[in-house]
Amino acid sequence: MGEKTSILFVIVCLVLFKSGGTAARPASSRRSLLDNGLGLTPPMGWNSWNHFNCNISESLIKQTADALVSTGLAKLGYTYVNLDDCWGLKHRDSQGNLVPDPAKFPSGMAALADYVHNLGLKFGLYSSSGHATCSGTMPGSLGHEQHDANSFASWGVDYLKYDNCFNDNISPIIRYEAMSKALNSTGRPIFFNICEWGDMRPALWGPNVGNSWRTTDDITDEWDRMICIAHLNEFYTAYAKPGGWNDPDMLEVGNGGMSYDEYVVHFSLWAISKAPLLIGCDVTSITNETMSIVGNYEVIDVNQDSLGVQAQMVRDFGEQEVWAGPLSRNRAVVLLVNRKLMTVTISALWSDIGIPDNVTCRVRDIWQHQDLNTTYQGMLTMHLTGHSCMMFVLTPIS
Ligand SMILES: *[C@@H]1O[C@H](CO)[C@@H](O)[C@H](O)[C@H]1NC(C)=O
Ligand SMILES: *[C@@H]1O[C@H](CO)[C@@H](O)[C@H](O)[C@H]1NC(C)=O
Ligand SMILES: *[C@@H]1O[C@H](CO)[C@@H](O)[C@H](O)[C@H]1NC(C)=O
Ligand SMILES: *[C@@H]1O[C@H](CO)[C@@H](O)[C@H](O)[C@H]1NC(C)=O
Ligand SMILES: *[C@@H]1O[C@H](CO)[C@@H](O)[C@H](O)[C@H]1NC(C)=O
């Protein structure tokens, strides 16, 4: 994609962003969050949609769960195995139950959840807060919230992605609260992902209702779209905290639409934004290159840091961005992003990061897994090739 198209896309993105209006101040209390004890750090795992769309099956899910273990991804924290749309029949049975498609899931969902649980992993499922799911191939849960929540709990579901299609224009707050309450009354802690696409600014009401809320429309496997979504999501930084996270959608790393460096930017932005890290590629055939991105334990550590503060874009020198946020143990993380196609120089100023100018920091490059040989005071300056990033953890030493 050329620079011109790219600039145009970003402008369109910014217009969308501005039309979002101003966000009210977030409720600051942990008590305002949905109290199911889940999501103290952003969820990590896999979801079927970005790579497989509707083409899912019991064998695919089992192989994926096996692959999460055999690749070591599970040990790194990727524990949720989440089915997306198209797992069920078009009609409920005579008792009003959702029915897993027997052609795709011959053993049923409880058996599949058992399989996943026996590997030490967690099982996620999908529905919509409308009268059908987005594919139109199965019923949604609108008006059937408690009935379906009971099914999910009885099957051993640990995570629900709850979509927004065919919703009859009923207020999302009403629709998502209904499912939140239904899940709660099953007695089973189920991570609740509000997939409302950011339309009615769910960051403002989501913390009382779910453990994460989509802040944007769907991601696609394209650089411009990925960058756009990261920016839209950044608008709601103040609302993310342990127990409830902004969700800029699932990862595309490994699906082939971006270069290696672009996927490194994608993963870095999601990690520093405390976004859910839900791998969206085929992990049964994951490449070493993709593993080297989603398997970067130092970048994962930033995402899973116990402080749980989403980073902000603290400076944008016109397609040259500085993102920063605090980490536990008095450290900070800094991400430099070059959105230009040419090599540029970017400086991160301590004053932008929130570190006093006279403080000297040890700096670790967490993509190179190297401590830099000099310490830095006041700022750091780096050269970045086109569409690439560098990510550093800063530790004050004076
Ligand atoms: C249900 O909500 C109550 C009150 O917020 C909370 O204490 C409890 O842990 C919740 N239970 C589940 C299973 O989510
Ligand atoms: C669906 O997935 C199966 C393997 O899981 C594959 O053989 C088949 O080609 C896929 N079909 C489509 C339409 O992608
Ligand atoms: C991928 O990594 C594994 C383990 O580190 C190694 O054995 C294998 O040769 C690598 N494959 C390729 C294609 O580089
Ligand atoms: C940095 O400056 C502040 C304010 O001037 C001062 O209080 C502090 O002692 C200084 N710290 C160092 C390490 O020099
Ligand atoms: C730091 O110095 C060592 C030894 O001189 C060198 O091997 C290493 O590459 C240097 N690291 C960086 C990040 O420049």
Q: What is the CA radius of gyration of the chain?
A: 21
> Quick one: which atom of ligand 2 is closest to the CA of 60?
5
Is 372 near ligand 5, meaning CB less than 6 Å away? yes
The catalytic residues are 163, 218
What is d(CA 298, CA 279) in angstroms, rounded to the nearest whole number? 17
User: Quick one: which ligand is closest to 63's CA?
Assistant: 2
* Gap from CA of 358 to ligand 4 centroid (Å): 6
**Atom 1 in ligand 1: which residue has the minimum CA distance?**
184
* Gap from CA of 350 to ligand 2 centroid (Å): 51
* Gap from CA of 284 to ligand 1 centroid (Å): 36
Give pLDDT, residue 24.
45
In the chain, CATH 3.20.20.70 sits at: 24-303
pTM, two decimal places: 0.93
Q: Three-state SS across the chain?
A: CCHHHHHHHHHHHHHHHHHCCCCCCCCCCHHHCCCCCCCCCCCEEEECHHHHCCCCCHHHHHHHHHHHHHCCCCCCCCCEEECCCCCECCCCCCCCCCCECCCCCCCHHHHHHHHHHHCCCEEEEEEECCCECCCCCCECCCCCHHHHHHHHHHHCCCEEEEECCCCCCCCHHHHHHHHHHHHHHHCCCCEEEECCCCCCCHHHHHHHCCCEEECCCCCCCCHHHHHHHHHHHHCCHHHCECCEEEECCCCCCCCCCCCHHHHHHHHHHHHHCCCCEEECCCHHHCCHHHHHHHCCHHHHHHHCCCCCCCCEEEEECCCEEEEEEECCCCCEEEEEEECCCCCEEEEEEHHHHCCCCCCEEEEEECCCCEECCCCEECEEEEEECCCEEEEEEEEECC
* Gap from CA of 38 to ligand 4 centroid (Å): 40
> Quick one: which atom of ligand 4 is closest to the CA of 358?
1
Measured in degrees and rounded to the nearest 5, phi and psi for residue 283 equal -75, -10
Is 356 near ligand 4, meaning CB less than 6 Å away? yes
Output the CATH code of domain 24-303: 3.20.20.70
> Quick one: which atom of ligand 4 is closest to the CA of 360?
13
What is d(CA 50, CA 171) in angstroms, rounded to the nearest whole number? 27
Measured in degrees and rounded to the nearest 5, phi and psi for residue 175 equal -65, -45
User: Quick one: which ligand is closest to 186's CA?
Assistant: 1
Output the CATH code of domain 312-396: 2.60.40.1180
What is d(CA 98, CA 91) in angstroms, rounded to the nearest whole number? 7
User: Quick one: which ligand is closest to 374's CA?
Assistant: 5
* Gap from CA of 87 to ligand 4 centroid (Å): 60
**Angle at Cα 64 formed by Cα 62 and Cα 65, nearest 5°?**
65
Residue 394 · residue 363 · CB < 8 Å: yes
In the chain, CATH 2.60.40.1180 sits at: 312-396
Is 291 near ligand 5, meaning CB less than 6 Å away? no
Residue 192 · residue 243 · CB < 8 Å: no
- pLDDT one digit per residue (tens) for the chain, 398 residues: 334 444 444 455 654 444 433 444 454 544 456 889 999 999 999 999 999 999 999 999 999 999 999 999 999 999 999 999 999 999 999 999 999 999 999 999 999 999 999 999 999 999 999 999 999 999 999 999 999 999 999 999 999 999 999 999 999 999 999 999 999 999 999 999 999 999 999 999 999 999 999 999 999 999 999 999 999 999 999 999 999 999 999 999 999 999 999 999 999 999 999 999 999 999 999 999 999 999 999 999 999 999 999 999 999 988 999 999 999 999 999 999 999 999 999 999 999 999 999 999 999 999 999 999 999 999 999 999 999 999 999 999 97
Is 379 near ligand 2, meaning CB less than 6 Å away? no
* Gap from CA of 285 to ligand 3 centroid (Å): 12
> Quick one: which atom of ligand 5 is closest to the CA of 365?
13
User: Quick one: which ligand is closest to 48's CA?
Assistant: 2
Q: Please give all residues whose beta carbon lies within 6 A of any atom in ligand 1, as ranges.
A: 35-36, 184, 187-189
